Structure 1
Amino acid sequence: MKVIYRKAVPDDAPACIVLRGRTRENAFSAEQLRAVGVTLESWRSGIADDTLPGYVALADGVLAGYCFGARDTGEIVVLALLPDYEGRGIGKTLLGLMVAQFKAMGLERLFLGCSSNPAVRSYGFYRHLGWRPTGAVDGLGDEVLEYVP
């Protein structure tokens, strides 16, 4: 399997929305995304104007995963991966690319919302990579983790 990582482009948005609904944990359908204000148009626009920069991973030409962040706040908004590509370092690489970009932009603190349930994969994933709990909870009920690059 050949994996290519590259900056996301606006034309990636439709496939990103579909992939988001196919993840193993924390899947969101297009309708659920729309209900929280994420639409195809908003995703494309965020990529185009670089307020929502991100990276995609293509495995043998197929979108396998992606990671996007909010440029103005340093929030890692989403890291999503198809189940068939878990455990191969793709998610770690995507997150690393986003962290490196934010660090190069001068952001001194990054954060994200993560399940507080230790049985959920993301709980251990982020902590293993150095993300630390802040004690705060976001509007979706997720624990806020931070990372200082």
Structure 2
Amino acid sequence: MISPLHYLPAHPEDAAAFVALRGQTRQNAISAERLAELGITAASWADMMENGNLSGVTCDHEGELVGYCFGDLETGEVIVLALLPAYEGQGIGRKLLELVVKQLHAKGHQTLFLGCSNDPESRSYGFYRHLGWRATGAIDKYGDEVLEYRF
């Protein structure tokens, strides 16, 4: 029997683990060093969570963090969805995204947005579109295509 997955609210004290996992994803991995260059460290991540702007959901399997999704409660942006490669294709990313989308909608957002690769070969390209996200025609400061989801 496969042990269960646990979906839990993210906690600021786990921010270092979020940074570490971000560098282990198969596509769009970003190292801790590169995140720091962008101003994202475990401390800044924890601060954003403690200030109430950043809300997230994690998934763990047998006590190991295997994925997470975070959204900005003020803007309605889905900031990041990250999953270890060994856990892809099991519906975990979809579930994490669903839970964060519900949080953002509960805060009153009727339209959500995120930055996504515009490369059709990228997993994220088809993933979000399959779930109803649509291109806006805009490109964010990182060169990613801005997608939106309307309720």
Partner residue, 1:32:
34
TM-score (norm 1): 0.98
Partner residue, 1:123:
125
Counterparts of 1:80 and 1:50, CA distance in 2: 21
Partner residue, 1:88:
90
1:86 counterpart letter in structure 2:
E
Counterparts of 1:36 and 1:49, CA distance in 2: 19
Question: Counterparts in 2 of 1:1-149, with a 5 A limit?
Answer: 1-149=3-151
Unaligned runs of 5+ in 1: none
Number of residue-to-residue matches in the alignment: 149
Percent identity between the aligned chains?
55
Counterparts of 2:140 and 2:20, CA distance in 1: 25
Counterparts of 1:84 and 1:6, CA distance in 2: 20
1:40 counterpart letter in structure 2:
A
Counterparts of 1:14 and 1:45, CA distance in 2: 12
2:102 counterpart letter in structure 1:
A
TM-score (norm 2): 0.97
Instruction: Give CA deviations for 1:64-120 in whole Å, capped at 9, x if unaligned.
Output: 000001111111000000000000000000000000011111111100000000000
